[in-house]
Structure 1
Amino acid sequence: MPNAKKPSRPRAIPIKAPSAARNRAPRNRPVEDDRIPKKTYDLHTARLRERLVDLQVELKEQPYRVLLIVAGVAGAGRGDVLNTLGGWLDPRGVETFSFTAPTDDERTRPFLWRFWRSLPAKGKIGVYAGSWYTETLAEEARSQKDLVALDADLERIRRFEKALVDDDTLVVKIWLNLDKETQRQRFKALAADPNTAWRVTEDDWRHHRIYDRLERTAVHILGATHRPYAPWTVVDAKDERARNLAVGELLLDQFAAHRRRLARLAHSRKPGRPVAAPVSLRPTGLRRLLALPLEQTLTAEAYEEKRDKWLGRLNAAVRAAKLAGRAITFVFEGWDAAGKGGAIRRLTSAIDVRDYRVYAVAKPTEEEYAHHYLWRFWRHLPRDGQVAIFDRSWYGRILVERIEGFCRPDEWRRAFQELKDFERELTDHGQIVIKFWLHISREEQLARFRAREETNFKKHKINEEDWRNRRKWNGYEIAVGDMLALTDAPAARWHLIPANDKRYARLHILRTACRAIQSALETP
């Protein structure tokens, strides 16, 4: 067996031009040699495969996932690389995705919807042959995209990857590169062989003809999304064996670096624990909450008189949104026994049952817990023209999870921005986001709790957890105030609903929903 050393590993680099980066030659051969000998390749492959399987065994026990994004120049061998990796890895721990142009159904939801849904659970590797970069590159190939629009897409991608990395996901991004002449020679060789001619399409040749323009776009995209938390590594794909080894070694290297990083972070991260008296991050929200007048009432006669009018207007507004291809997402948050369920029933009575879905959000299932906390909400986003109603929502992250210690302090602190970014994805797509906080007094909550205990058909609505949450009223009040102050946005406002009187609250919600939809439809 030859005393061969493994090829030098590729490194993450500041992106200048894809064609400028190459793998260095293995140490056991002359630098001018263009190919790794097969015997050397087989030796390194055997060792690499063992180490990759060991990685997967270790990953099964870890509370994070690995995402491998393989992109690159046409003809660089992306499919060959993925097939090779598929032979090296245990397929039971790998999920492979090949995203191409979005389907008609996928276009009816925000850009990132299909990618969030695809994310693997913790302990697994997600391999992306096509990813959130694919459509951006494809659009540039079809027609040059406006730079402002392109940069908006890249900013969206940066936020997405940052959210995943903050959740301890390892994101490995590889760009397989070929120079223009090598690409031409490879296409010609494939096209000349009847057995491989099918691998070269007219699109491939068209991409070759605009190689220089696509390269400039790739330089821009890679440079704009090359970040310390998710760097790009450019791998020269001229030597297929060196290319394959480089990708495998890179996956191992970044996994080891990620493991060391998390070990360092473990020493500085404070564990989540219940908080009796949280400190307000932005007191203006709490002042807004406490200033809300709760004495408004509405007689049964006045309610009946006005209800049908606002139900009719709401029905017209929802139908207008559907005609305009605008989805609507309602978020209902509020104190226990504040009347969210009753308000939702009145709201849905104005909407065609075929056009809405109600999601009652409880604690995460085992599957949901194995994903990013926003994953379960991305899965339920409505199509254009449809309505989603969330009875409790993603705001549990900064309410119950903060107060009860279900997540770490660093997790709920960064969630304020993550939630704003999430809703920005919805509104940028054109969704209308309407958020309600139903507010009642502490005394009114106590009266409703006791009424539930004394009414047979309402007893199922009250349990010990409700009483336990009530004992933490002051803490939750501060958390709600921070939520109102730090997650209010022009396109996703919080509407505070005085809910001591149920009739007043229900009519107020109908009126607010109607006006919010109409306002959104009038906004360009």
Structure 2
Amino acid sequence: MFEALETGKNLTAEEFKDYREDLRPALLEAQFALAKRDYPVLIVMGGFDGAGKGAVVHRLNEWMDARLIETHALWMHSDEEESRPYYWRFWQRLPPRGRIGIMLGTWYQRATYRAMAGLLDDAGFELAMRRAVDFEQTLVADGALVIKLWLHVSRDMQRLQLSQEAPRQQQNPRVPGDPEAWWSTRGEPQHRGADPVSNLPADPEEWWRRYPQALEVSERLLRLTDSGEAPWHLVEANDRYYRDATAATLILNAMNGHEPGGTASTHPVKFLPEPGGQPTVLDHVDLSRHVPRDEYKLRLAVLQDRVQDLFWQAHRERRSLVAVFEGWDAAGKGSALRRLTAAVDPRLYKLVQFAAPTDEERAHHYLWRFWRQLQRDGRATLFDRSWYGRVLVERVEALVPESTWRRAYSEINDFEAQLVEHGCIVAKFWLHISKDEQLKRFKDREAKPHKQYKISKEDWRNRKKWDDYSLAVEDMVANTSTGKAPWHLVAGNDKKSARLEILELLCEHFEQCLGDRTRRLRDRA
């Protein structure tokens, strides 16, 4: 989920200055317009320590009229708060209609840190997240605009940020002076009776060591609490200029597009990010990969044997595979699927191809047509195109409102979580090719009669929206790549390399899900 937030997006000081000249008056205008409206705006700041949440809030108060903003930093909990139900402290700080409230230290914080400290089990964490969602939906139903920002920094950047902020302990009173206040040297919570929110590690190295654990908890938090009514907006925060400009733009677009009841405008103001102007997760795919023909034949045979064994192993263990194949037009999905199915007994899988929904399918929820294709335990379902059309083509072509495709992220994550909980193995592949390679393949299809059925006017029309689709893929990966259902971005300029990579990744994911004993199959291969 977070790989799309470590792509190196940045702004120079001069670029940031230009954005500021546009954003500042626009934010003030939106803020003054809000003063005449009958609903409040609540900005929820989430993310890791060291991501710059405080800096973003400072910037917002600088660019807007601070007299009309209520900023609340819930670092320490008073006796008065602890003697009442947990959400009392938040109800006390809600902004009135026509004003903006900013929350630092929110209803997510206590459950997050307790889960990291080992003080809250999975059931307790999920209950806390349901409480948070219910609270937000209560506010939204009354007309409030809830804007949730999640600021993400890489592991090394977090350590750098925390180590560079020398006066941080004075700036942030919830961080104690004792670096061992939260974690002992054995990695166990030091004070189990205390609230871990008030006993966080001050040592940057301790945060760095706990980073993978924080990632896991954060991924679950985002998956469980992202909703169409109050979606999370993920912000790459390694670069402070890009972070501040992006956060401000997201807030501005949300305020300009809001109507009570959760309906978003179809024409939000756009300053950032500009399509194609910043690196995306796809830019990090190495398209130069190449496999010689002789090597390809040898490796393909070995991998297909390995795939066949793993499919039968899954069948014996009554584990189903749900594999999703998405990618650019002419990226090679069909040929990759043929190399996969060539290795598998047809009795063990069903290959399903999807296009535009039929009238019957339109009469149901959009996930209905995918649910009904799922195979029984021990068999695989291979999807050539999938439920991700809702956040790709339907988004880019404006076939559904923005609120609908944004809500789909949480719906998709919930759908895939149910598959995993049942025991399904979920693997998702995006075949990526360059724009030049796509053009080459399009022309080849037009020139060869036996390939002309593969090319249409719609393909050429989609190509003109390459940047829009790139942005949609970026958001798709950021919002739906999870530990149990990850996205695999496959370099497809060389078709032979792509076929091998897909088989290799599928085998590795199979083995990871099936257990250690299946690795013996790989060793024999």
Which has more radius of gyration?
Answer: 1
Q: Give the TM-score taking structure 1 as reference length.
A: 0.48
Q: Give the TM-score taking structure 2 as reference length.
A: 0.48
